[in-house]
Amino acid sequence: MKRDIIAGNWKMNNNNAQTKELIKQIAPLVKDAKCEVVVCVPFTDLDTARRAIRGTNIKLGAQNVHWAPKGAFTGEISADMLLEQKVEYVIVGHSERRQYFGETDASVNARTKAAIAAGLKVIVCIGELLEERETGKTAEVVIRQINGAMAGIEKADLKKIVVAYEPVWAIGTGRTATPQDANDTIAIIRKAVRKLYGKTAANALRIQYGGSMNAKNASELMAMPEIDGGLIGGASLKAEDFAKVVNY
Ligand code: 13P
């Protein structure tokens, strides 16, 4: 398996026609990528994206999953529903979900467990708020979030998880964490994972950086030893920009 993983998080962007076109543009530009390439698209674009990525090295991802297999959960989507769409990866616990939709460490954990049990791979997002960074709480926050997300998850399932460290103050703001800062915080996260699962499993865990990562700064971020990939928002919506990140 390729170690580094670059995933586009399209968020709530692109209709079916735009999805088809964007993937058509991205595919030839990333075909020789030395990392895994994923696009996490809105639910309503999954079918279109699934067809568009056929025969390419691009993998399909979704942006959320519910913890129950089915039932009275209006507006939610189950892991089996995603699998039926041939989804391989799902983002869980994005800061926008934490901020606007009441996602908590406990719900992130429940969604992650359900996704893994069903056979999906999960991109678990964690990251501190600006206020937390400015008051010196970054380590405390990311350790709490990683412990919360991993609660009750078996060591054997760790290989189905990718962690995305996304400092909230760097998302969509054009303000990127310095490569050193990103590296240092990811090292703190990895140390917490080591406490839970031991050194080998922690070293094997892939941890992405996310937050205003783009064509210009990808190579210096990816050069850092702790950073195993990126979760890309804005820059994943333009084929050339996304390809430049993928080909860091
Ligand atoms: P931007 O790349 O737009 O800052 O978004 C990052 C992000 O939230 C990816 O999940």
CATH of the domain at 218: 3.20.20.70
Counting Cα atoms < 13 Å in the Cβ hemisphere of 168 gives 20
pLDDT tens, position by position, 135-191: 999 999 999 999 999 999 999 999 999 999 999 999 988 888 899 999 999 999 999
Distance CA 40, CA 49 (A): 9
Can you give the residue range of the structural domain that contains 87? 5-246
Which residue has a Cα nearest atom 9 of ligand 1?
233
Task: Work out the percent of the chain whose per-residue pLDDT is above 90.
Answer: 97
Cβ neighbourhood burial of 52 (10 Å; 0-12, 13-18, 19+)? buried
| Ligand 1 contact via 213 beta carbon (within 6 Å) | yes
The sign one gets for the Cα dihedral 114, 148, 224, 174 is positive
| Ligand 1 contact via 166 beta carbon (within 6 Å) | yes
Looking at this protein, which amino acid is placed at residue 72? A
- The whole-chain average pLDDT of the chain stands at 97
pLDDT tens, position by position, 107-135: 999 999 999 999 999 999 999 999 999 99
User: For the residues of 176-234, what is the DSSP string, one character each?
Assistant: PPPHHHHHHHHHHHHHHHHHHH-HHHHHHSEEEEESS--TTTHHHHHTSTT--EEEESG
Biggest alpha carbon–alpha carbon distance for the chain: 48
Spatial CB neighbours of 58, under 8 Å, sequence gap ≥ 6? 23, 26, 27, 30, 37, 38, 39
Note the pLDDT of residue 175.
85
User: For the residues of 2-14, what is the DSSP string, one character each?
Assistant: -S-EEEEE--S--
Distance CA 63, CA 122 (A): 10
Which one is catalytic: 94, 103, 128, 132? 94
| Ligand 1 contact via 42 beta carbon (within 6 Å) | no
Atom of ligand 1 nearest to the CA of 214: 2
Q: Which of 32, 41, 99 is nearest to 237 (CA)?
A: 41
Atom of ligand 1 nearest to the CA of 125: 10
Q: How many domains does the chain contain in total? A: 1
Q: 235 CA to middle of ligand 1, Å?
A: 8
pLDDT (mean) for 207-213: 97
Report CA-CA distances (Å) from 209 to 83, 156, 216: 26, 23, 15
Report H helices in 42-178.
46-52, 79-84, 95-100, 105-118, 130-134, 138-150
> 1 falls in which pLDDT band (50, 70, 90)?
low
pLDDT tens, position by position, 5-27: 999 999 999 999 999 999 999 99
| Ligand 1 contact via 210 beta carbon (within 6 Å) | yes
Question: Is residue 140 among the annotated active site residues?
Answer: no
Q: Judge contact between 111 and 151, C-beta under 8 A.
A: no
Question: Is residue 66 among the annotated active site residues?
Answer: no
